[in-house]
Amino acid sequence: MKHLLLILSIFLVIQLDAKEQCSLPPQISNLIISKDLSTLKSNADILRNYRSLQGLCVHLLAFREGALVWKMFLVTNPKRSSGPFWFLPHDNENSAFNSAVYATRRYGGGFLSVNTNGHRYNMGQDPNRNFAKSTQRICSQQKAASPLYTDLVFSIINYYKSPNLPYLALHNNTNRGGISALKESAKTKAYLAYPREQVKKGIGLSDEDSLIYIAGSQANPPSRKVQALLNAGLNVKYEHVTPQNNDCSMSNYVVLGLGSENYYNIEAQHGKTATQIKMINRLMQLIFTALNN
C-alpha cells in the first residue's frame, strides 16, 4: 500500500510539473479559448501534425481589435520554453506550420501562428501588413490601426524568445513568384549562394524560392552577415527599410519600431517542408555557433 501511495504521489507531482511547464504570458491568460489538443483536431494544421504536437503545449487564443477578430495558435516546448520563437502570419502556408512544429520539438521555444481557417487574409487584412503602434493607419495595406495586435504579438514573442536570439519568421511562397532570389526591387537586393544557372533549376536549397530574408535601415546589408548565410548554402534577400517605404510587415516593425536588425525570415516554396527544415537547421547552426564564439 505504501508503495502504491508513493507511486501515486510521484505521478501527481509529475502531472503538476507538466502543467506548470506550459507557462503563459500573464497578459494572454484571459484570451485562451482552448488548450486541449484533442478538441483542436478540426483544424487542418493541427490534424496534419497531431502526432508531432503530442507533448507540446498548444493553446488557441482569440482577441478583437476594431472590426477584426484574431485567432492564433501558440505552440511551445514545455521542456525548453525559452529559445527560438517563430511567427507565422499566413494560415495558407502549410509547410511553414509543419516546419515550425519540427523546430519547436528540436530546438525548444515555440511559435505563434495566425489562424484564419486556411486563408491568407483575415477579412481582407494581411496579418503581415498589420504591425504599427500608431493609433493612425499608416500603411496602404493596413485597414485600421493595430496597437493591440502589434503589442500582443511581440509581447508573446518576447516572453518566450531568448533575449540573445533573433526575431524569426517562417513563410511559404509560390514557384518563381515575387519572393525570389533572382528578383530585386527598389527596396530589396538579392545574393545567391549558388551559380545563377543552378538557382534557375529550382531544386532544393539552391531554388530561387529558397531564401533567407533579412532587413535593415542601411542601403546595404552587413557583409559578414550575408557572407555567413551564403557560406551555409542559403540564398539571401535584403530589405532596406525606411519610414518612407514602411509596409507594416513584421520585418519593417522590427527595424523601425524596435530599432533592431536581428531578424531572419525563412522562405521556401509551398509544399517544400523538407527544404524548409534544412534551412532551419542551417540557420540555427549559424546562430548558435555565433553565440558560442
Range 19-45 average pLDDT: 91
CB-based burial, 209-231: b 16+ in 10 Å, e otherwise: bbbbbbbbeeeebeeebbebbbe
Residue with more model confidence, 290 or 239: 239
Angstrom distance (rounded) from CA 30 to CA 153: 15
Over the stretch 85-141, which tens digit does the pLDDT of each residue have? 999 999 999 999 999 999 999 999 999 999 999 999 999 999 999 999 888 888 999
Domains and CATH numbers, the chain: 25-292 (3.40.630)
Q: Enter the C-alpha cell of residue 75.
A: 505552440
C-alpha neighbours within 13 Å on the C-beta side of residue 250: 26
Contact 276, 170 (CB under 8 A): yes
Q: Is the confidence at residue 27, as pLDDT, over 60?
A: yes
Inter-helix orientation angle 273-292/94-107, to 10°? 40
Please return the burial class of 178, using the count of CB atoms within 10 Å of its CB with bins 0-12, 13-18 and 19+: exposed
Range 35-46 average pLDDT: 96
Q: Is the confidence at residue 252, as pLDDT, over 70?
A: yes
Query: What is the structure's pLDDT at 16?
Result: 35
Residue with more model confidence, 292 or 151: 151
Per the rule left: phi > 0, alpha: psi between -120 and 50, beta: everything else, 152 is alpha
Query: What is the structure's pLDDT at 291?
Result: 87
**Structure pTM?**
0.92
Q: Is the confidence at residue 17, as pLDDT, over 90?
A: no
Query: What is the structure's pLDDT at 280?
Result: 98
Over the stretch 256-274, which tens digit does the pLDDT of each residue have? 999 999 999 999 999 999 9
Over the stretch 279-288, which tens digit does the pLDDT of each residue have? 999 999 999 9
Strand ranges of the sheet holding 57-65, from the earlier edge strand across to the other edge: 32-34, 57-65, 68-76, 110-114, 85-88, 167-173, 263-269, 211-216, 236-240, 188-191
Contact 190, 178 (CB under 8 A): no
Please return the burial class of 25, using the count of CB atoms within 10 Å of its CB with bins 0-12, 13-18 and 19+: middle
Contact 196, 222 (CB under 8 A): no
